[in-house]
Each structure stands twice: as C-alpha cells, then as structure tokens.
Structure 1
Amino acid sequence: MSRYLAPALVASVDDLVIYRVENGQPVATDAPRGFSERFIHSEVYKAYQGVQAVVHSHSLEVVPFSISTTPLQACFHMAGFLGTAVPIWDAASVYKDHPDDNQDMLVKNVKLASALARSLGDGAQGMPKHPVALMRGHGFVATSNSLEMVIFNSVYTAQNARVQRQALSLGTDVQVFTEREAHDTGTTTGQGAVKPWPLWVAEVSKSSLYQNLM
C-alpha cells in the first residue's frame, strides 16, 4: 500500500509499504510511516480468501447514504452489484464495548477492521455476500477478486449514489431495482470491466498529476 501520502502521488517503489495480512503490520522493520487504516485491507483479506483487491473511499457522493435512513440501492444498470440494500457498518457498534477508546471514526486497529469486514457478510467461494459496505459518517469499502473489478465497483458505487440522490431531489418516489434486476444487471456488467478499464488507465496516464517511476 501507499506510505503516508496522498495515494495519487505514489510514483516509485519507495512510496509503497508491504504489510502482513495476519496483523496489518509492516514486513520491514524500517518501513516508512503508513496509513493508519491499513487494517481495513488486512482484515478483509483475512476474512474472505477469494478477495484479491480492496478499496477504501471517502466519496462525498456516498457518505450521505451512510448517515441517512434512505438505503443505497441499485438503481443504475452499471451498479447492479449493489443489490437491494448496501449494509452500513457503524463504528459505534464497537465503541459501545470499548468506551475508553478514541472514537475518531477511523479504523485504526484489528478489532474495528474485523467488525467492518464481517459486515460484508459471508458469500460463496470465499467472497463476501456484499461487495460494498458503507461506513457511517466516513465512506465505504469495496472488494473484488481483481484490481480491475474493485475499481469498477468503486466507480459505479459513487455514480449510483449520485444518480439516486439526484432522483430523490426530484421529490418523487425512486424506482430502484428488484432483487432479480440487481442480480441480472450485476452479473452482466460484472463481465465488462474490460471495457472501461483501458479508458481509466489512459486518463491517469495523460494526467500531469500522476507520475510512474517504477
């Protein structure tokens, strides 16, 4: 993972830190400072053997659904993987048993990250039941069995949130997907990350913000 640095600024191997999945600690004893929330990644990998990529996002499109009684639901055909309701993990569910802990909403230890990972639910073939879980007042975590698909899930989670919020702002009932529609659209589009992926790579490659010295 990136060292303690805005991830978009990662440019060389010196900007990366290798961690142990079993405890989220760096392999190298002289590793530079890393992200405090790295435990999100290690605990998801521990809980679901089929997961090969994890994204943690603070998307402002998604956060409102983590603090609202309106659930984030698939209503956009590229986001059928969200299903009929995305689970919301609340750090307070852990704080209540550890009232003396710092309650800064950050997932900075194994006990918080383990509880977050469990909120994804058990699915088939070592994968979580839900590929995405919201984090109250914080953001979301997305998972998949490949780097391409976890980016796909992350991008379209935010886009679905934007579409749903815009529809809600019209002041009418929003027609979200049925369970069958969410399943079938998720299955179809889940085979299609090969289409947008080259575009996303090209956008990054052509942006002066990003450098790749690896």
Structure 2
Amino acid sequence: MSTTQSSSESVILQQYYRDLISGSHILHYHNVVDAFGHLSVRHPFKPEIFIMSRNAAPGVISSPNDLVEYNIEDARAVDPNAAAGFAERCIHSECYKRYPDVHSVIHSHSEAVVPYTISGVSLRACYHMAGFLGTSVPVWDFADAQQPDDISDLLVRNTHLGSSLAATFGTSDSKDGSPQHVVALMRGHGLTVLAAGIQDCVMRAIYTQKNAAIQTTALSMRAADSSATAPIKYLSQKEVADTTSWIKTSAHRPWGLWLREVEACGLYANSA
C-alpha cells in the first residue's frame, strides 16, 4: 500500500470513528439508549472486523481510545489487551457474519418499543418516516434459543444466541443475501437495528422509537373511544416500499440536525 493510500485510508477511518462516537451521542440525546445499548460499524477496509466502544455508557465515549476492534468470526477483540467490551457484542458479530451488506448495527432497550416485544401486538409502520419497518416486525424470544447452560437474563452473551437473533431478520429475495427485515424486536429486552451505514442505522433506530410511540397513542385512542369502528390504517405494502425508497435519499438531513444538537448540548465530547 502506498503512503498516499495509507494516508487516505487513515482519514476515512478517522471519520468512521467520529461518526461512531457522534452516533452514540445522538442515540443518547434522543433517549434511544441510556447507560445501556450500543452502536457498531463494520471496518471500512477490513470487512472481517467491526468497531464498537468499550463497555461504557454511549453518552460518555469521547475519543478513538474508547473504541475497540473485534473479529466478526467470534466477537473477540483483535487486541487481547483491549478494554473490556460489551457482553452482548455477539449481537453485532453475528449480524455482520450473516449479512455481508450490513455495515452498522444498533442494540437498544427503548422503553417505547419494549411493550411491542411482550404484548402480542405487532409493531407496524404507521407513518411515512418509518416505512422501513414494513407491514410487520419480527420478535425474537431468548427462551426459544436458550441452551441449558445459558444464564436466563435475556442477554445475548454468546454466538449461538447471536446467530439465532440474526436469523430472525430473514433473507430477502435479492441475490446479495440482504436481510428481509431491518429491525427485530427482542422479547422483554429491546430491539436490534441493521443498516448499510451509521447514519441510516441511527435514523432507523430513532424513527422506530417514534413509530412505536405514535402506534401506542393510536391504540390508546381507539381503546378510549367505544364509537371507533374503523381499524387503524397502517402503511400498505406499496406505501412501505415507496417511503423506504424515499427515506434512503434523506438520511443526511436529520443527521446534520442531530449532530448540531449534540455538539451544542455541552454534555458530549468528541475528539476523533
């Protein structure tokens, strides 16, 4: 590799670090994560490696020193002396392993979403910003994948649990093996979001939470009004397809706003 190429790759990698840190701050600012939850990205030049923060609250990570590289094959740190990582990093490694075109993963315990993991009510796209949710969102149950020696704390601590969760996203009809769903719920736990990049992944996580809040409001309104007879009108299959296509071209707009918000907040620091 030439010196010029090496320098160019260094600049790109530095931007990945910066976006990973900023994305973590944005997710915290919008209450998608709190002291728990995590965002990761596939390494731009080493597709067998992914990057995520050390075991710390997303809002407090602030520099590349807080980031750790992991092998996708087994979720082990590339550097055996790296800082302690998240117990649930196998969520990320197994999703990257199964779906080569996925380059960013988020795991969240969003309180607006969790009711849809336990109630039997399907989370569905009900407004145009969340068409990517489709006409249904799958729910993964820890109990279905649990083996006798797994701790019953609902945490995805190993590769067989991570592999089971990753399989829940399904496979689309396209030849590239991309996931059929980009969001999967986790019973009594939260959700996992997949995307081709950090900005798209953050946007999907935030608008999944917003969609859940809107759907809950709509369901509550119907329950409170005995005269309501028409069913809730969710997005149709064509509306899902068209809104999903549209939003792909618009991720830069909310990202720019959200970035300014966290930069102006005073709570977050990013030296990458």
> Under a length normalisation based on structure 1, what TM-score does the superposition of the two structures give?
0.96
Q: Counterpart in 2 of 1:76?
A: 127
Which amino acid letter does the alignment assign opposite residue 156 of structure 1? Y
SS in 2 for 1:213: coil
Q: Is 1:33 aligned with 2:60?
A: no
Aligned structure 1 segments of 4 or more residues deviating by more than 2 angstroms: none
Partner AA of 1:120 in structure 2: F
State the percentage of identical aligned residues. 45
- Corresponding residue SS for 1:14: helix
1:184 aligns with 2:233: no
Alignment pair present for 1:137 and 2:191: no
Shift of 1:187: 1.3
Give the equivalent residue in structure 1 for 2:156.
107
Deviation string, structure 1 residues 121-145 (Cα, Å, up to 9, x no partner): 0123332000100011111010111
Question: Separation in 2 of the partners of 1:175 and 1:70?
Answer: 15
Distance in 2 (CA, whole Å) between partners of 1:147 and 1:87 is: 22
Q: Is the 8 A contact 1:51 1:127 kept in 2?
A: yes
Per-residue CA distance 1:49-107 (angstroms, 9 max, x = gap) = 00011111110010000101110000011000101100001111112xx2332110000
Q: Distance in 1 between matches of 2:68 and 2:143?
A: 30
Equivalences for 1:152-171 in 2 at 5 Å? 152-170=203-221, 171=223
1:190 Cα shift? 2.2
Taking the aligned partners of 1:201 and 1:47, their CA distance within structure 2 comes to 31
Give SS of 1:202's match: helix
Q: Which moved more, 1:63-72 or 1:180-189?
A: 180-189
TM-score where L is the length of structure 2: 0.76
Structure 1: distance between partners of 2:80 and 2:203: 34
Structure 1 stretches lacking a partner, 5+ long: none
Once the two structures are superposed, what CA deviation does each residue of 1:158-203 show, in whole Å capped at 9, x if it has no partner? 0000000000000253211111111111111222112111001111
Match of 1:117 in 2: 166
Residues in 1 aligned to 2:122 and 2:163: alpha-carbon distance in whole angstroms? 23
Give the match's secondary structure for 2:68: coil
CA RMSD of aligned residues (A): 1.1
* Distance (whole Å) between structure 1 residues aligned to residue 95 and residue 149 of structure 2: 25
Q: Is the contact between residue 3 and residue 15 of structure 1 (CA under 8 Å) also seen in structure 2?
A: yes
Q: Which has the larger radius of gyration?
A: 2
Q: Choose 136-145 or 6-15, whichever is displaced more.
A: 6-15
**The 10-residue stretch of structure 1 (48-57 or 204-213) with the greater mean CA deviation from structure 2:** 204-213
Distance 2:148 2:219 in 1: 37
- 2-structure distance, mates of 1:190, 1:84: 18
Deviation of the 1:146 alpha carbon = 1.2
Tell me the SS of whatever aligns to 1:195.
helix
Q: Which residue of 2 aligns with 1:149?
A: 200
Unmatched runs of 5 consecutive residues or more in structure 2: 1-51
> What is the alpha-carbon distance in structure 1 between the residues aligned to residue 199 and residue 245 of structure 2?
15
